[in-house]
Amino acid sequence: GAVVSQHPSWVICKSGTSVKIECRSLDFQATTMFWYRQFPKQSLMLMATSNEGSKATYEQGVEKDKFLINHASLTLSTLTVTSAHPEDSSFYICSARDRTESNEKLFFGSGTQLSVL
Amino acid sequence: KQEVTQIPAALSVPEGENLVLNCSFTDSAIYNLQWFRQDPGKGLTSLLLIQSSQREQTSGRLNASLDKSSGRSTLYIAASQPGDSATYLCAVSPSYGKLTFGQGTILTVHP
């Protein structure tokens, strides 16, 4: 099956620093990738939809200037948490669809646990 | 706003039991419904996807049903095994890719 590689798996950073999370589709091309986050004991929530070659679409309440998304190629999307603060500590996970597949299953990365001190 | 609820929040069963996980959603205007498995450190794995026009899907020991009009779905796991222990997530989609997740059911199958 399709594989989505997400790095890093976990990161600890100081408040005020920026953190970049990468999401790669290893054996397929992904026109669209989705970024989710999950706070402790809460559901996964969609943050934004990343489209290759165009601006990301953010969900209501998600600050686009704080969560920068770049999808410059068909196999790579990045999420940068700028000037991270402790309230940004969360589990971030990406998903992607194989553009050549007729089924509509989404493939997920392994997630990134971000802890901001 | 779509809300997805999963019951029970946690379930512990002995190996070999058949079990049912429940999912309900408030807005029946869905595109599809998916069941996922979440393992610590391994992200999510899609188990079954049911299109809005379908009633059920089966894969091995797993069977998922969908009653869109009543806003319900069930995931049936037959002959449970310790390897089935994980968090099971239900998610509905009003349009492709935008999933609304439930909080999950933590399943523990003990030998």
Q: Contact, A36 vs A21, CB < 8 A?
A: no
Of B44, B97, B102, Cβ closest to residue A97: B97
Each residue of B31-73: pLDDT tens digit? Answer: 889 999 998 767 888 899 998 999 999 999 999 999 999 999 9
User: Does the pLDDT of residue B96 top 80, yes or no?
Assistant: no
Q: With contacts defined as CB-CB under 8 Å, which chain B residues touch A108?
A: 36, 43-46
Query: Please, what's the largest Cα pairwise distance for chain A?
Result: 44
In Å, how far is B64's CA from the nearest CA of chain A? 15
Q: Contact, B103 vs A42, CB < 8 A?
A: yes
Cα A98 to Cα A3: distance, rounded to the nearest angstrom: 10
Q: What is the mean pLDDT of chain B?
A: 93
Residue of A nearest to B48 (CA): A105
Mean pLDDT of A66-80: 92
Q: With contacts defined as CB-CB under 8 Å, which chain B residues touch A48?
A: none
Each residue of B78-95: pLDDT tens digit? Answer: 999 999 999 999 999 877
Q: Which residue is associated with the tokens 């990045």?
A: A78
Each residue of A76-115: pLDDT tens digit? Answer: 999 999 999 999 999 999 998 876 666 667 888 999 999 9
Cα B45 to Cα A4: distance, rounded to the nearest angstrom: 11
Q: What is the mean pLDDT of chain A?
A: 90
